[in-house]
């Protein structure tokens, strides 16, 4: 009898303790559920953390709370759905992107698609944890930015994909103006040699080919057709077979937004576009209509989406037509309103955006105040770096709001004049700009030479330092802002 009473008393005490603990847990809104795959322990009952590598489906533990019993599969579905909802709430980038693309799909559609591509752990980490940089979080988890993933989701095949030389960064190399005009310029010398390596230093050619993306300005037409524009002092045209020189240089993309690509009229201009594209090189800044000329070109390297836009305002007397809705030409920016609209839209579609601009005063080593003002507006609209050309000589550089502006790289390979030129190498990752480095070169006697001599290097670095008072340029050519604000 005493034993029965004792058991009854113990039972009552146990029931009382369980009831109290249940109420206590309800008040804290806290659950602690050990399972084979996940341990859910948080003041937010939906946070999940991986505990082991075993499959959730093999777990049959039942969880009882507040008089209800749930199978672990139910918990799995509940936590996954909540993670998806929280993730969708974070994806304003995706919402904007889908709107720009005029897609009838929603952000939740994207999340559902993404959930099928990646594990529960990835979805949960992104939805329930993560930093204030959701794009970087996606990249860390998947090796792809949100913009790249959005294009996969929409099955957009327009991006150009390239393998990177280095998985930690992307190397973007830029040179200035190249002119392959027949009769009287560099091609006359080229034709007397055994090939390009007798005209451009082998080290330069190697660097051009080693870059993940190499870009320069194609300042001539390529065609057997057309006639020189009447009244224009200098007109440049190359034979179609000369395009192989661009291939040998390793050119990935060339700008057509300049004042000589249309020198022989519309037929030759359209031939230029076709010949370059058929050689496997991308063009930007010119086209058969305004849509083509204004189109931003996107590359994907190392899971990072990089955009290129190009425009020109180089002629005092305008011979080169701007592209219109139904007529060929280049992307003009004498009024930069449209350019900034294109930039603002492109900024919402890629991780890093470059504007390659043809502007400035010929044969002046100083950039103009109006260029600085235009650069400010482009950067405010969303550009991450500006590369310039047209003045034929090397000009200064600066950083505006942490973004590099290279006003002119000069003539890369153009004529027989002796002058400094060079290239700029931007190294970027998912966080933006890692470094900007100037590659010292000189054009002389129809050659472009890499400067290896220490005194020549010092001379050109000092030349650039004088023209770039807001920048620090070290002896390796690395260019940083004196404000120590080279990246976001």
3-state secondary structure of 160: strand
Q: Is 93 inside a domain boundary? A: yes
Q: Is 46 inside a domain boundary? A: no
Residue 182 and residue 102 share a domain = no
pLDDT at 9: 56
Does the structure show a pLDDT above 80 at 45?
A: no
Residue 324 and residue 341 share a domain = yes
Query: Chain-wide mean pLDDT for the chain?
Result: 87
Instruction: Provide the CATH number for the domain around residue 409.
Output: 3.60.21.10
pLDDT digit string (tens) for 266-317? 999 999 999 999 999 999 999 999 999 999 999 999 999 999 999 999 999 9
Of 114, 131, 154, the residue that ends a domain is 154
Distance from C-alpha of 350 to C-alpha of 100, rounded to nearest angstrom: 12
Residue 269 and residue 233 share a domain = yes
Residue 364 and residue 412 share a domain = yes
Q: Is 20 inside a domain boundary? A: no
Residue 338 and residue 380 share a domain = yes
DSSP 92-116: HHHHHHHHHTT-S--HHHHHHHHHH
Read off the pTM. 0.85
Residue 303 and residue 195 share a domain = yes
Does the structure show a pLDDT above 50 at 342?
A: yes
pLDDT at 221: 98
Residue 469 and residue 377 share a domain = yes
Residue 107 and residue 254 share a domain = no
Q: How big, in percent rounded to 5, are the helix, strand and coil portions of the chain?
A: 35, 25, 35
Distance from C-alpha of 396 to C-alpha of 365, rounded to nearest angstrom: 7
pLDDT digit string (tens) for 167-210? 899 999 999 999 999 988 899 999 999 999 999 999 999 999 99
Q: Is 39 inside a domain boundary? A: no
What is the domain extent for residue 214?
A: 160-481
Q: Which helix (H) or strand (E) holds 32?
A: strand 31-34
Residue 331 and residue 279 share a domain = yes
Of the pLDDT bands very low, low, confident and very high (cuts 50, 70, 90), residue 131 is: confident
Number of structural domains (the chain) is 2
Q: Which residues face 438 on adjacent strands?
A: 424
Of 154, 173, 204, the residue that ends a domain is 154
pLDDT digit string (tens) for 435-475? 999 999 999 999 999 999 999 999 999 999 999 999 999 99
Of 154, 175, 192, the residue that ends a domain is 154
pLDDT at 48: 35
Q: Is 138 inside a domain boundary? A: yes
Q: Is 418 inside a domain boundary? A: yes
Residue 413 and residue 281 share a domain = yes
3-state secondary structure of 408: coil
Relative to beta strand 297-301, strand 68-71 is unpaired
Q: Is 49 inside a domain boundary? A: no
Residue 147 and residue 164 share a domain = no
Residue 289 and residue 237 share a domain = yes
Q: Is 21 inside a domain boundary? A: no
pLDDT at 288: 98
């Amino acid at each position: 009898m005493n034993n029965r009473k004792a058991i009854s008393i113990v039972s009552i005490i146990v029931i009382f303790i369980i009831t109290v603990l249940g109420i206590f847990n309800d008040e804290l809104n806290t659950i602690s559920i050990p399972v084979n795959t996940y341990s859910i322990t948080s003041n937010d009952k939906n946070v999940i953390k991986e505990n082991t590598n075993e499959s959730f489906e093999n777990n049959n533990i039942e969880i009882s709370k507040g008089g209800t019993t749930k199978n672990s599969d139910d918990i799995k579905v509940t936590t996954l759905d909540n993670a998806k909802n929280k993730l969708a709430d974070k994806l304003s980038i995706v919402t904007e992107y889908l709107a720009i693309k005029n897609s009838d799909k929603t952000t939740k559609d994207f999340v559902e698609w993404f959930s099928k591509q990646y594990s529960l752990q990835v979805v949960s980490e992104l939805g329930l944890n993560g930093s204030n940089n959701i794009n970087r979080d996606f990249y860390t988890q998947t090796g792809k930015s949100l913009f790249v993933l959005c294009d996969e989701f929409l099955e957009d095949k327009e991006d150009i994909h390239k393998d990177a030389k280095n998985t930690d960064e992307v190397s973007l190399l830029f040179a200035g103006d190249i002119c392959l005009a027949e009769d009287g310029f560099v091609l006359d010398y080229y034709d007397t040699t055994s090939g390009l390596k007798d005209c451009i230093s082998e080290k330069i050619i190697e660097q051009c080919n080693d870059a993940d993306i190499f870009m320069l300005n194609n300042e001539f037409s390529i065609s057997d057709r057309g006639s020189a524009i009447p009244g224009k002092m200098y007109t440049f045209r190359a034979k179609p077979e000369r395009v192989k020189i661009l291939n040998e240089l390793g050119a990935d993309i060339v700008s057509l937004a300049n004042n000589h690509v249309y020198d022989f009229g519309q037929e030759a201009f359209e031939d230029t576009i076709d010949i370059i594209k058929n050689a496997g090189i991308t063009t930007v800044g010119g086209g058969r209509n305004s849509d083509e000329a204004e189109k931003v070109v996107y590359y994907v390297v190392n899971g990072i989406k990089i955009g290129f836009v190009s425009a020109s305002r180089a002629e005092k007397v305008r011979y080169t037509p701007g592209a219109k809705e139904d007529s060929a030409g280049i992307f003009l920016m004498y009024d930069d309103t449209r350019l900034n609209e294109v930039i603002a839209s492109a900024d919402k579609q890629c991780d890093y955006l470059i504007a390659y601009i043809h502007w400035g005063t010929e044969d002046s080593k100083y950039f103009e105040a109006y260029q600085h003002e235009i650069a400010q507006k482009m950067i405010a609209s969303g550009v991450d770096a500006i590369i310039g050309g047209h003045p034929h000589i090397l000009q200064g550089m600066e950083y505006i709001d942490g973004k590099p502006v290279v006003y002119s790289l000069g003539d890369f390979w153009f004529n027989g004049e002796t002058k400094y030129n060079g290239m700029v190498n931007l190294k970027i990752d998912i966080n933006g700009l890692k470094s900007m480095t100037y590659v010292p070169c000189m054009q002389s006697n129809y050659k472009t030479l890499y400067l290896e001599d220490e005194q020549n290097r010092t001379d050109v670095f000092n030349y650039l330092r004088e023209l770039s008072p807001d920048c620090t340029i070290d002896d390796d050519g690395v260019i940083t802002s004196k404000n120590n604000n080279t990246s976001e």
